[in-house]
């Protein structure tokens, strides 16, 4: 299996990772969720090589996660914004944050908290079944294809 083959795998985990599964892409998207849009701002934040950053932004644009928009014509300058497809990755990001804060803590830094932008209410993000509100737990869940064989995950 090569990395470039992942995008055509039937497994959705593989297809997801073909877009965001390399070492830096999710950190670029973290900066986008923080509001950064320009090459140099993201570069200053991440400190990966400009070479790699340029490549990642190009890929994210080509997969439709970011869009490149001109914000100045003379000189021509571009910025990167999350598309709907990109914003839809927020639950992945938040789930990862929750996991890391619990199981991979960092001493000396107060924990992350999520708030409603309008009411300022504290939020406690949790993955549940929409109908029953029961939390999703790997030991109580079985994954299968809609029709056909009962192949797990």
Nearer to DNA, 74 or 146 (CB): 74
* Among residues 51, 72, 75, 131, the one that binds a second copy under rule CB under 8 A: 131
Q: How far is the CB of 152 from DNA (least distance, A)?
A: 19
In sequence order, what are the residues at sequence separation of 6 or more whose Cβ sits closer than 8 angstroms to the Cβ of residue 136? 127, 128, 129
Q: What is the C-alpha to C-alpha distance for residues 93 and 12, in angstroms, rounded to an integer?
A: 17
Distance CA 139, CA 86 (A): 30
Does 4 participate in binding a second copy (rule CB under 8 A)?
no
Site string for a second copy, 80-109 (x = CB under 8 A): --x--x-xxxxxxxxxxxxxxxxxx-x--x
Site residues for DNA, 41-70, by CB under 7 A, read: 41, 47-52, 54-55, 57, 68
Supply the angle between the helices 50-62 and 25-34 in degrees, to the nearest 10: 80
Beta carbons of 68 and 79 less than 8 angstroms apart:
yes
Which residues in this chain contact DNA in the complex, by CB under 7 A? 1-4, 22-24, 38-41, 47-52, 54-55, 57, 68, 74-79
């Amino acid at each position: 299996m090569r990395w470039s083959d992942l995008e055509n795998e039937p497994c959705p985990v593989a297809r997801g990772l073909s877009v965001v599964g390399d070492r830096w892409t999710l950190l670029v998207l973290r900066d986008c969720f923080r509001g950064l849009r320009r090459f140099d701002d993201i570069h200053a934040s991440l400190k990966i090589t400009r070479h790699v950053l340029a490549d990642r932004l190009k890929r994210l644009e080509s997969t439709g996660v970011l869009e490149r928009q001109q914000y100045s014509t003379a000189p021509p300058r571009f910025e990167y914004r999350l598309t709907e497809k990109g914003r839809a990755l927020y639950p992945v990001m938040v789930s990862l944050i929750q996991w890391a804060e619990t199981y991979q803590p960092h001493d000396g830094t107060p924990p992350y908290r999520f708030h409603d932008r309008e009411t300022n209410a504290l939020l406690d993000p949790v993955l549940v079944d929409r109908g029953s509100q029961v939390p999703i737990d790997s030991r109580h869940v079985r994954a299968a294809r809609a029709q056909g064989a009962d192949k797990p995950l």
